[in-house]
Structure 1
Amino acid sequence: MSILITLLWLMSSILFLTNPGNEKTRWVSYIGFCGGFGGLSVLLSSDLEHSKWVLLLHYISSSIGHYGTAYTIFIFGLIYSDNLKTKKNLLWKLLLFIPVIITQLLFTEYPKFETQYAIISIWIVPYVGIANALIVYSAYSETNKTVQKQKVLTSLVVVPALTFALITNIILEAFGVAGVWLYNPWIIALAFLLFGCFIIKYGFLGVQIKFEKQRRDLTMKAVTSGTALLNHTIKNEVGKIDFLTNQLKDHIPDKNPEAIDLILKSTNHVMEISTRIQKKLDILELKESEFWLSDLINSSIDLLQPHISETNIVKKYEVDAKVYGDFVHLQETALNIMKNAMEAMGDSKILIIKIYKTRKQTHIDFIDNGKGIEKDKVSQILDPFFSTKKRVGNFGLGLTYCYNVMTKHQGDINVKSQLGHGTTITLSLPNKRVLNIQSIQKSNNTSGESYGYY
């Protein structure tokens, strides 16, 4: 049982501490914490006669384990499936807590906790059953393939463990079949193994993305400060070379002027590179205004002429959103992504642009039919100075700049790619930046609107 408690609280701590701002992650961690208290009550049950404090702790742990776990499971199911609306969030949470209060006050004796399974199953079975159904249906009905994959993995970890616990802890006990719950630690251990696999390889409820973001933020800080120092040194030394070369040119104007001009050109080139690198890494200052995302995309496409003349752009908008942000920086971000896409595609260039909304974010997908990126390089693609391009003059800072812009907008940028199957780059803005949202007719979304230029 101590293993069960350790695994539950370890999983819950990882989820809660790495992504506390995500409500779905918080509530699934609450499930683990409450379940751990249920295990603690079992450990304490063997020592109830020795201390009144142990008796009290057993009573509290048992209450949290039986009632709190079922309640947090139901709330998680509602939030995860986007059925608990933000404006009425607190009201519903309070209303759904009423069975917990009634059970605690009317059917739970103190100090010795005696579980009345037949009574508590009246509300616990529907709570857990509906939550499981909502989690599975949310994965089944999800239209975005990337999000759907995450939801399927979540279902594989959460639903079997919750179902087994419901049957062994509540239903069988209500029918007088006792002791089957002793197998729970094995199910929790299996769930923990799946959790560990998914969180490392694929991500689980956004935690993997958080790990990568933390690593990238640390890299950005180190690179920015290091590059600033290096650039300062380079500019000082190159400035000296430029000054001395100009003095030398004045004193010996007729002695091999081509060589002196070449030195001056080289110093100017180094200064230009240094300035360009620093601009990409400097802290951004946002000049915010209101604009529609469709206008942002159209403006970016216009600026790409004539480079985009051989690309077929297909717009598949589920919504259009008026947002509050820096138009210029977000436009430059879109330009960088579309340029990269065009360079990665072959003769038949197709770029699909999607705008859609989820519960907490509004997204823009840029989907190309290029050669894709190797699996081991996808996680590095946003890192400073990393590039899959081999051209001279490419510094690997374009997507790093995009990452900076999205972070400054409290948003995110995500890269999904498979070698030979193209790349999808998603820009995500928090819905608190969305001022207005307009749905686009589904008939237009399904077929897409083709904006090819030939």
Structure 2
Amino acid sequence: MIFVFIVLWIAALLLLLSGWRNRSARWLSSVAFCGGSGALASVLQEVIRPVVSVLGGTATTDESLYTAMTIFSLISYYGLPYCYVRFAGTYHGLPQIPPTWRWLHWLLLLPVLGMSLLYPYYPPNYDVLVYWAVPYIIIGTLLIVGKRGILPWEQRSHQVTMIAVVPAVLFAMVMNYVMPALGIYEMWRYNVWTITLAFLIFVTALFKSGFLGVQLYIERRQMDRTLRAITSGTAILNHAIKNDIGKIQLYCDKLKSTSDEGAEGALGEQIQDVKVIERAATHIQEMVNRVQHNTQDLVLRPEPVLLETLISENIEMLRPKLVQSGIEVRTSWDEDHMMMELVVDRAQVHEALHNIMMNAIEAMPRGGRLMFQRNETKRMWIVAIEDTGIGIPKDQLAKVMTPFFTTKASSSNNFGLGLAYCYQVMKKHGGTMRIESPPSSGTTVYLHFAKNKRASREAGS
């Protein structure tokens, strides 16, 4: 049970720290905490209390350990069903009418409070416990299994949740609640096998496909560190190059003014050389400005904006390129019913959309379809921009948002900053950006915009 206690509390901590803004992750963290509490209670009862007794522990110490064992045991028995059904409801995305939902929260908590008051000692009254704990777990399982409207990028995470969470909780329901109610005790010891399997699946998903957004958080941290380093580095580089360019331009002016006007041929050749130097200096300055523009910390100027309007404006702006490339544009919404109203920086979001659409056009040189789809959750608007182009090789997909990485090596004007800039725009607005590109199936960029006012708070910070 020591192993079970450790792995469950590690899982709870990882979920809490990595996905603390995700309500589903927070509730699943509480499920793992409750499961780990039961294992800790077993460790206190079967390992720590006997050891302390052998080492000469007092009656007061033993009573304290028994009290701790009872508390952790009841947290597990009473808390796990409640936290599980709350996780399932949040994960499923049940419609939440505020007054009704708050009332339901309290109603679900009543059996936990009642059992805590009526049966505050270990072991709990299994004959009463089974009548509400089992329905909670079954209802929660049905909600998880019945989750609908799963977006493509969520499918793998949903499969992991189904495999890792549901079997372990159902097995614990039988061993911890049903069997004791039938008079068969100590069956909870077999939970170690399903919990071990669930933990292995969780850890594997954590570093490969993601689990309730946890991998996305790790990717963000890596990207944020890279962007901060680049922001600092380009600021220093920009300062140094500007100083030297200033010197070059100063001496170019001096050469022009002090040239020997009598030596007409030499003068003409000298002026041409100076112009070459000036053009080179101007080119360097333009390159520095472009890099700095795409890597510097963004300052938002939020205002109410309809995302459909920004998308439509970009489509019209790029209409000549779309027609020239033979690309058909499709949107999944009626232009007369624009709904995605947010408070964002119009110019920055417009530019981000433009960059993504240009990438899609360049990926379809022989024509294709550019499709825009809209979805929503309680807190997010989700825009999917899908093309039928050549796609992104699997070995490059994880790198495309890394600054200075580009798949367009043949272009001297491409700095590999477009998608890094788009990521930065979404991050500053409290949203996320995700890219999928199945082999030979085009590319889809998912933009998640927060429905709250976080953009305005970011701008003011």
**So what's the TM-score if we normalise by structure 1?**
0.90
- 1:56 maps to amino acid: T
For 1:422-433, what aligned pairs fall within 5 Å after superposition? 422-433=442-453
For 1:258-407, what aligned pairs fall within 5 Å after superposition? 258-309=272-323, 310-317=326-333, 320-390=339-409, 391-407=411-427
Aligned mates of 1:84, 1:339 — CA distance in 2: 37
Select which of 415, 422, 428 maps to 1:408. Answer: 428
Shift of 1:44: 2.0
Unaligned runs of 5+ in 1: 435-454
- For residue 357 of structure 2, give the secondary structure of its aligned residue in structure 1: helix
Select which of 234, 238, 246 maps to 2:245. Answer: 238
1:95 matched to 2:104: no
Unaligned runs of 5+ in 2: 54-58, 260-266, 455-461
1:121 matched to 2:130: yes
Equivalent pair of 1:320/1:355 in contact (CA under 8 Å):
no
Equivalent pair of 1:242/1:264 in contact (CA under 8 Å):
yes
Shift of 1:428: 1.0
Aligned mates of 2:202, 2:166 — CA distance in 1: 12
- 2:247 maps to amino acid: K
- 2:203 maps to amino acid: G
Equivalent pair of 2:41/2:69 in contact (CA under 8 Å):
yes
Residue in structure 2 matched with residue 137 of structure 1 by the alignment: 146
Range with bigger deviation, 186-195 or 173-182: 173-182
Shift of 1:84: 6.1
Q: Tell me: CA distance 1:433–1:307, structure 2 relative to 1, closer, same or farther (3 Å).
A: farther
Aligned mates of 1:12, 1:143 — CA distance in 2: 24
Shift of 1:340: 0.5
CA displacement, residues 92-145 of structure 1 (integer Å, 9 cap, x when unaligned): 322211001111222x154xx12221210000000011101111111xx23422
- For residue 430 of structure 2, give the secondary structure of its aligned residue in structure 1: coil
Residue in structure 1 matched with residue 184 of structure 2 by the alignment: 177
For 1:39-54, what aligned pairs fall within 5 Å after superposition? 39-46=39-46, 47=49, 50=59, 51-54=62-65
Aligned mates of 2:150, 2:18 — CA distance in 1: 27
For 1:50-65, what aligned pairs fall within 5 Å after superposition? 50=59, 51-65=62-76
Equivalent pair of 2:373/2:384 in contact (CA under 8 Å):
yes
1:189 matched to 2:189: no
- For residue 307 of structure 1, give the secondary structure of its aligned residue in structure 2: helix
- 1:234 maps to amino acid: I
Shift of 1:394: 0.6
Equivalent pair of 1:317/1:356 in contact (CA under 8 Å):
no
Equivalent pair of 2:404/2:416 in contact (CA under 8 Å):
yes
- 1:92 maps to amino acid: L
Aligned mates of 1:32, 1:213 — CA distance in 2: 25
Equivalent pair of 2:74/2:124 in contact (CA under 8 Å):
no
Aligned mates of 2:97, 2:399 — CA distance in 1: 35
Equivalent pair of 2:327/2:364 in contact (CA under 8 Å):
no
CA displacement, residues 143-181 of structure 1 (integer Å, 9 cap, x when unaligned): 422223321221111101101111111111211223332
CA displacement, residues 306-365 of structure 1 (integer Å, 9 cap, x when unaligned): 112121001113973222212222111111100000001141321111121122210111
Tell me the percent identity.
33
Equivalent pair of 1:368/1:423 in contact (CA under 8 Å):
yes
Aligned mates of 1:355, 1:8 — CA distance in 2: 37
Equivalent pair of 1:369/1:421 in contact (CA under 8 Å):
yes
Aligned mates of 1:250, 1:308 — CA distance in 2: 50
Residue in structure 2 matched with residue 69 of structure 1 by the alignment: 80
- 1:100 maps to amino acid: V
Aligned mates of 2:190, 2:432 — CA distance in 1: 42
Whose radius of gyration is greater, 1 or 2? 2
Shift of 1:270: 0.3
Aligned mates of 1:57, 1:45 — CA distance in 2: 9
Residue in structure 1 matched with residue 162 of structure 2 by the alignment: 155
Aligned mates of 1:285, 1:308 — CA distance in 2: 31
Equivalent pair of 1:314/1:353 in contact (CA under 8 Å):
yes
Q: Tell me: CA distance 1:63–1:342, structure 2 relative to 1, closer, same or farther (3 Å).
A: same
Range with bigger deviation, 251-260 or 299-308: 251-260
1:33 matched to 2:52: no
Aligned mates of 1:285, 1:410 — CA distance in 2: 13
Residue in structure 2 matched with residue 85 of structure 1 by the alignment: 96
Aligned mates of 1:305, 1:328 — CA distance in 2: 19
- 1:365 maps to amino acid: A
Aligned mates of 1:255, 1:58 — CA distance in 2: 92
- 1:158 maps to amino acid: V
**So what's the TM-score if we normalise by structure 2?**
0.89
Range with bigger deviation, 375-384 or 222-231: 375-384
Q: Tell me: CA distance 1:255–1:321, structure 2 relative to 1, closer, same or farther (3 Å).
A: closer
Shift of 1:290: 1.9
- For residue 425 of structure 1, give the secondary structure of its aligned residue in structure 2: strand
CA displacement, residues 21-43 of structure 1 (integer Å, 9 cap, x when unaligned): 11110000001111111111112
Range with bigger deviation, 177-186 or 234-243: 177-186
- 2:332 maps to amino acid: K
Residue in structure 1 matched with residue 6 of structure 2 by the alignment: 6
Q: Report how many aligned residue pairs link the two structures.
A: 429
- For residue 386 of structure 2, give the secondary structure of its aligned residue in structure 1: strand
- For residue 306 of structure 1, give the secondary structure of its aligned residue in structure 2: helix
CA displacement, residues 273-317 of structure 1 (integer Å, 9 cap, x when unaligned): 111111112222222222322211111111113112121001113
CA displacement, residues 41-87 of structure 1 (integer Å, 9 cap, x when unaligned): 11222338851101111111111010011111111111111126272
